[in-house]
Structure 1
Amino acid sequence: MEAFALAIKKAFRYSFYLLAGLAILMVVLPEHKVFLQSLLLGVGAGILNVMVLAGKVWTVGLMADDPAVRPKGTGTFFRFMVAGLAAYLTFLFPHLFTLSGVLLGLFFIQGLIYLIVFRNFK
């Protein structure tokens, strides 16, 4: 579990670096502000989804040590709701967000986390 905790810590660190980089780019490149705002929304929702999933994986890891600990689901419904809320916000505020940016942010953060965690376990 310590290796998993270190991998998740490193992945979150890089994710927040990405968030900071997108915020800086939004200031530096104001002509692409709508797309960068969309990426920020997608990355933020993706980080929240990864936090929920990492918590559930941590609970399953604790179950290996103590059988009395039981996970209460995988958090799939909550993660779908977060992604759905991000998509709904793009349709509610089309002048602030684009769907392509939100979806890229959601998928990019998932890929980044999986890449970092799997690479850390080699």
Structure 2
Amino acid sequence: MEAFALAMRKTFRYSLWCMALFVILMVVLPEHKVFLQSLLLGTVTGIINTSVLASKVWVVGQMADDPNVRPKGTGTMLRFMIAGLAAYTTFLFPHMFTLSGVLLGLFLIQGISYLLVFRNSK
């Protein structure tokens, strides 16, 4: 489980670097502010979804050590609801967010986490 914990720490570190980059780009490129705000919303939502999934995977890993620990699911509905809330927020405030930016931010964090977890599991 140490490899998984290391991969999750790297994922959150890279995610925060991406968020910082988006904020810097928002200051430097104010004409793309709506898209960059959408990327930030998607990134924050992706970080929340990744942390929910990581906590559930951690419980499953603890079950290997202690058979009395039982996982209570993978949190799929919670993660769908969080992503749905981000999409709903996008439709509520179309002058502040675009759906393409939110989806790119969501999938960016998932892609980073998949790459780092698979790379560290070898």
Query: TM-score, with normalisation over the residues of structure 2?
Result: 0.98
Is 1:119 the counterpart of 2:119? The answer is: yes
How much does 1:120 deviate? 1.4
Residue matched to 2:105 = 105
Structure 2 gaps, min length 5: none
Deviation at 1:109, TM superposition (A): 1.1
Q: CA deviation at 1:72?
A: 0.8
- RMSD (CA atoms): 0.6
The whole-number CA distance in structure 1 between the counterparts of 2:92 and 2:101 is: 15
Runs of 4+ in 1 over 3 A off after TM superposition: none
Alignment of 1:46-65 (within 5 A): 46-65=46-65
For residues 42 and 8 of structure 1, the distance between their equivalents in structure 2, rounded to whole angstroms, comes to 18
Task: Give TM-score, length-normalised by structure 1.
Answer: 0.98
Q: In the alignment, is residue 76 of structure 1 matched against residue 81 of structure 2?
A: no
| Partner Cα separation in structure 2 for residue 73 and residue 120 of structure 1 | 24
Structure 1 residue 11: Cα displacement: 1.1
For residues 59-97 of structure 1, give each alpha carbon's deviation from its aligned partner in whole angstroms, at most 9, with x where no partner exists.
000000001111111100110000000000010000000
